[in-house]
A = this chain, B = another copy of it.
Amino acid sequence: MQTVLVIDDDAALRDTIGLMLETEGFRPALAGDGRTGLKQALALKPDLILVDLRMPGLGGMEVCKQIRAAELKTPLIVLSAIGDEMDKVLLLEVGADDYVVKPFGTRELLARIRAVLRRTSSEGTKVIAFSDVEVDLTRRVVLRKGEDLKMTRAEYNLLTYFLQNPDRALTRDMILNSVWGYESFPNTRTVDAHVVRLRQKLEPDPVCPQHFLTVHGVGYRFLP
């Protein structure tokens, strides 16, 4: 299920969109202002963000900028009122993927959401492979010697994080923050437990890891 974060100071609209998202099979998260929205974006790592352009305090433009500055690639759709002067170039510059002008129908918004999600997910039609393992990021499937391996959510997330940061020493804290987000605080030893399981599923010989290496006193390093 995909999480959509809605950042809008208009409570009524927020709730309407939230409800719509829920009935359409998304998991909505709501924020009433830019600052908390930003926090939630970092904490929840949603699959898409809807952000109002005109908000008291931190505006939509600024939110976009900061999200991009935080190296989050989450697709962004900006909601703007009809009167708002909007520099489309500026919008794109700060990293928005699309924009919708209020007032809009839920049907239209939904279409835009689906379009952006489709576009951004098809961007990475890539399969990453190492030794006898293939990871299909778009299908969210892991194959070992062609066999479909069942991966749990945490395992898969951890795996993709390793894949995206190959050959780098990663501390447990870095891993926790990136894979689990800032809002949950599991034990650092939890990372160990999941690495063990990744090894058991993916290593040729789990006792002598070739890919998921431990960096003693630091954390782990993934070697493709």
Contact = CB atoms under 8 A, between A and B. Distances in A.
Contact of A140 (B139, B141, B221): B221
A167 B152 contact: no
A139 B222 CA distance: 10
A216 B221 CA distance: 27
Contact of A89 (B82, B125, B138): B82
A138 B168 contact: yes
Contacts of A92: 86, 88, 123
A67 to B, nearest CB: 15
A65 to B, nearest CB: 13
A101 interface: yes
Tally of this chain's copies: 2
A97 interface: yes
Which range contains the number of A residues in contact with the other chain? 20 to 34
Contacts of A86: 89, 92
Nearest to A92: B88
Interface in A128-169: 138-141, 152-153, 167-169
A152 B140 CA distance: 30
A215 B152 CA distance: 9
Given A138-B167, A139-B167, A153-B217, 18 more contacts: A86-B89, A88-B92, A88-B97, A89-B101, A89-B119, A89-B120, A89-B123, A92-B123, A93-B123, A125-B167, A139-B168, A139-B169, A140-B215, A140-B218, A140-B221, A152-B217, A153-B216, A153-B218
